[in-house]
């Protein structure tokens, strides 16, 4: 009996009886199957096709989720201690936004490189290199003296390069371990750790600051957690062949690997991918601005309402970072689960469910965000309520947009597709939104009298553009819905996509064993 990948994702299935798993009968070179004469068929020792049990796949997914948690904690740990870092390095609001911009710019510049490597070489090795980069650099940044603030900016850029490897490659590994509803559920759990990790980044930063009185220790705790993640990755996470879960026997065997430019042209003609990428860009623009500046905005709102004294010396009160972090964690978990479950159920009656759910949630989030900003000066309670609703609606999209990409792109282009979506999303999204928000706030503040009220109003007005951007994102997902079924059908067509040498060997083995089974 020969074991081959089971397209249901439940383990392995038998495809041939009458032989051992290590031996298959294949035609000799120059002879046709079924030809008469001795030696027309000869036994040949071959290895079994790639397969993985359901338990091991779940363990691998759990490890990747844990690393995703640490990845996004690194994204927002600075925002949780922003006031103290600004005071330590003497950084203004407009320049403080550059911390996140440098991080994201380095991430987006390196994402296409990791996407190319992830489609052609060992994904496990690329993931390991990324973890080593971001953990080592994060630890080193905790020893930078105040006169070398530029070195702290540079360290955030290197952390972004390491983060790019995981953000680009990890979803494609999950896509090759699970299919259909199983993949939707696993991606939902995986993407829960975006808001959870982001929120815990605030929580860790503010908690360590309160315990030690020094923001540097937050960067010294993280490498310990990341060392555990690296060991678990090496030991427990496999590197499956591209498209292994889908068992794409129709892929062209032995065809030369397409070039990166050909992959990009294919994706550029995939309108579901294009429109959904622009929708993701709107989400990243808003989450980038909110994630970086919302704790400070809430702090200044409390000062204006007389509930909090202004921060004049270190350490600043980090209560707002802690509150915002907890809200991000809770709304992230609930939002991702609701979005994924709604998509799974709605798909049974409407094949365009995923982009429609994204569109509706973003349009509603735009309204909630607008109300949260406007009401912040009048009543903090109502502002918090609408902010929570807005974050909840934004979180509904994380797993759904990933499933859209995996359903409309052929397996062996998914690494490149993830990289391009990350690059475009960050170039036009959160690479500039924290800096742009800080720049607008600084410009408005310079033209007004110097007071805490004017500082709050300047940051409030700079946020209002986010509501408009997120509404545009909802429109992009409506356009995605118009093309979804066509592009999904194209992704399932035989011979669509590319293959590399490792995958070609696996597919050849599948084809040969299938042919032998028919002749036997």
* CB distance 400 to 353 below 8 Å: no
C-alpha to C-alpha distance for 220 and 136, rounded to whole angstroms: 10
Tokens found for residue 454? 């004017």
Under 8 Å CB-to-CB from 99, ≥6 apart: which residues?
78, 85, 91, 152, 153, 156, 434
pLDDT at 50: 55
Per-residue pLDDT of the chain (520 residues; tens, 9 = 90+): 343 434 333 343 333 333 333 333 334 444 444 443 344 333 333 344 456 677 888 898 899 999 989 988 887 788 778 777 888 888 876 677 778 778 878 887 888 888 777 777 788 888 888 899 888 888 888 888 888 888 888 888 889 888 888 888 888 788 778 766 677 778 778 877 877 887 788 788 878 877 887 888 888 888 889 999 999 999 888 877 765 555 543 343 334 456 778 888 888 889 999 999 999 999 989 988 887 788 888 888 888 877 776 766 555 655 667 777 788 788 888 988 899 889 888 888 998 999 999 999 999 999 999 999 889 888 888 988 999 999 899 988 877 888 898 889 887 787 788 778 877 887 788 777 888 888 888 888 777 777 777 778 888 888 888 889 999 999 999 999 999 999 988 887 755 544 444 444 444 433 443 443 344 4
**Residue extents of the structural domains in the chain:** 52-243, 261-493
pLDDT at 142: 85
pLDDT at 216: 85
C-alpha to C-alpha distance for 204 and 73, rounded to whole angstroms: 8
Provide the H-helix boundaries in 77-92.
82-89
Under 8 Å CB-to-CB from 446, ≥6 apart: which residues?
none
pLDDT at 18: 34
Tell me whether strands 12-14 and 3-5 are parallel, antiparallel or unpaired: antiparallel
Burial label for 267, CB within 10 Å (0-12, 13-18, 19+), is buried
> 52-243 and 261-493: same fold?
yes
CA distances for 371 relative to 99, 134, 192, angstroms: 28, 37, 26
For 513, half-sphere exposure in the C-beta direction (CA atoms, 13 angstrom radius) is: 28
pLDDT at 491: 83
Under 8 Å CB-to-CB from 199, ≥6 apart: which residues?
76, 324, 325, 326, 327, 328, 329, 330, 332
Tokens found for residue 170? 């990890």
Burial code of 180-200, b = ≥16 C-beta within 10 A, e = fewer?
eebbbbbbbbbbbbbbbbbbb
pLDDT at 167: 81
* CB distance 376 to 398 below 8 Å: no
C-alpha to C-alpha distance for 140 and 220, rounded to whole angstroms: 9
Burial label for 449, CB within 10 Å (0-12, 13-18, 19+), is exposed
Tokens found for residue 200? 């815990």
The class (CATH top level) of 261-493 is mainly alpha
Provide the H-helix boundaries in 54-92.
54-76, 82-89
pLDDT at 318: 58
pLDDT at 494: 55
* CB distance 212 to 314 below 8 Å: no
Collapsed DSSP state (helix, strand, coil) of residue 258: coil
CATH of the domain spanning 52-243, picked from 3.90.110.10, 1.10.287.110, 1.20.1250.20, 1.10.10.10: 1.20.1250.20
C-alpha to C-alpha distance for 245 and 5, rounded to whole angstroms: 7
C-alpha to C-alpha distance for 84 and 218, rounded to whole angstroms: 12
């Amino acid at each position: 009996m020969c074991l081959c990948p089971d397209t249901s994702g439940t383990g392995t299935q038998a495809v041939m009886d009458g032989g051992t798993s290590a031996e298959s009968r294949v035609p000799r070179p120059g002879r046709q199957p079924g030809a008469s004469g001795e030696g027309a068929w000869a036994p040949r020792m071959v290895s079994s096709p790639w397969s993985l049990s359901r338990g091991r796949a779940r363990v691998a997914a759990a490890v990747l989720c844990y690393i995703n948690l640490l990845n996004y904690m690194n994204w927002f740990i600075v925002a949780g201690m922003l006031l103290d870092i600004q005071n330590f390095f003497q950084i203004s609001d407009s320049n403080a936004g550059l911390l996140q911009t440098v991080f994201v710019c380095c991430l987006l510049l390196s994402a296409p490189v990791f996407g190319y490597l992830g489609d052609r070489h060992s994904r496990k090795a690329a993931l390991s290199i990324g973890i080593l980069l971001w953990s080592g650099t994060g630890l080193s940044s905790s020893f930078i003296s105040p006169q070398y603030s530029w070195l702290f900016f540079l360290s955030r850029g290197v952390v972004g390069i390491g983060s790019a490897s995981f953000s680009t490659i990890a979803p494609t590994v999950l896509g090759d371990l699970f299919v259909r509803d199983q993949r939707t559920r696993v991606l939902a759990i995986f993407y829960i750790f975006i808001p959870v990790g982001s929120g815990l980044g605030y929580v860790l930063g503010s908690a360590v600051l309160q315990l030690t009185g020094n923001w540097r220790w937050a960067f010294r705790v993280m490498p310990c957690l990341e060392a555990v993640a690296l060991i678990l990755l090496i030991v427990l996470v496999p590197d499956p062949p591209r498209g292994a879960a889908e068992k794409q026997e129709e892929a062209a065997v032995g065809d030369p690997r397409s070039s990166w430019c050909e992959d990009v042209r294919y994706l550029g003609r995939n309108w579901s991918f294009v429109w959904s990428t622009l929708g993701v860009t709107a989400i990243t623009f808003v989450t980038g601005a909110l994630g970086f500046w919302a704790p400070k905005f809430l702090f200044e709102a409390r000062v204006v309402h007389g509930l909090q004294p202004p921060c004049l010396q270190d350490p600043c009160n980090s209560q707002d970072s802690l509150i915002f972090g907890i809200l991000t964690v809770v709304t992230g978990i609930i939002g991702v689960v609701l979005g994924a479950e709604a998509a799974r159920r709605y798909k049974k009656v409407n094949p365009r469910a995923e982009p429609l759910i994204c569109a509706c949630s973003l349009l509603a989030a735009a309204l909630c965000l607008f109300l949260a900003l406007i009401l912040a000066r009048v009543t903090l309670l109502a502002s918090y309520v609408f902010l929570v609703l807005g974050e909840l609606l934004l979180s509904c999209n994380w797993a759904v947009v990933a499933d859209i990409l995996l359903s409309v792109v052929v397996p062996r282009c998914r690494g490149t597709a993830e990289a391009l979506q990350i690059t475009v999303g960050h170039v036009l999204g959160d690479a500039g939104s924290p800096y742009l928000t800080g720049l607008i706030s600084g410009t408005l503040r310079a033209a007004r009298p110097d007071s805490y009220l004017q500082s709050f109003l300047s940051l409030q007005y700079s946020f209002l553009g986010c509501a408009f951007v997120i509404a545009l994102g909802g429109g992009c997902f409506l356009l995605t819905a118009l093309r979804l079924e066509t592009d999904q059908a194209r992704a399932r067509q035989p011979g669509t996509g590319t293959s590399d040498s490792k995958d070609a060997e696996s597919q050849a083995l599948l084809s040969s064993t299938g042919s032998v089974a028919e002749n036997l």
